[in-house]
Structure 1
């Protein structure tokens, strides 16, 4: 299976163009222990082959890692299965007479 292709800057701009411009941008990190991080930096650079690449990074300040990724986001990213509550079994009505 081929790895998922990288998103280009143009594709990212296209995807973000329909979003609320005032919404904060966060990073979803680590599918096996999904966490949310604040985005603090955008850096244009070149990779080892001299091609342009853009890095999005969290800051070094306290609180850059916000905590666990919301479950609905992890499901949308296919990092976890939707949680389905087990079927509810009706309990019998038993009285405990302690008097």
Structure 2
């Protein structure tokens, strides 16, 4: 199983640098019932959250939202992630 941990924006950028920028990107979810999704929005809290004008005190976190569901995760992708169908 691939145990790489992507914890920061820098980790994500580093993980993607070996791939062609035109390559489609997907999110794989639910290891026991593997599905693939497009990526949706990318936001940062507390900066992108609606607020009352009070300056944010929490540290920023970038969130990758899931877009539309495409279907079942292809077998080669599930195998590469170490998931079984």
**Shorter-normalised TM range:** 0.7 to 0.9
For structure 2, the residue ranges without an aligned partner over 5 or more in a row are 47-56
Aligned CA distance change for structure 1 residues 51 and 16 (closer, same or farther; 3 Å): same
- Which structure's relative contact order is higher, taking Cα pairs within 8 Å and 6+ residues apart? 2
TM-score by length of 1: 0.63
Structure 1 stretches of 4+ with a deviation exceeding 6 A read none
* Structure with larger Rg: 1
Structure with more strand by fraction: 2
RMSD, matched Cα: 2.1
Provide the aligned length of Structure 1 versus Structure 2: 72
User: TM-score, normalising length from structure 2?
Assistant: 0.72
Structure 1: unaligned runs, 5 residues or longer: 82-99
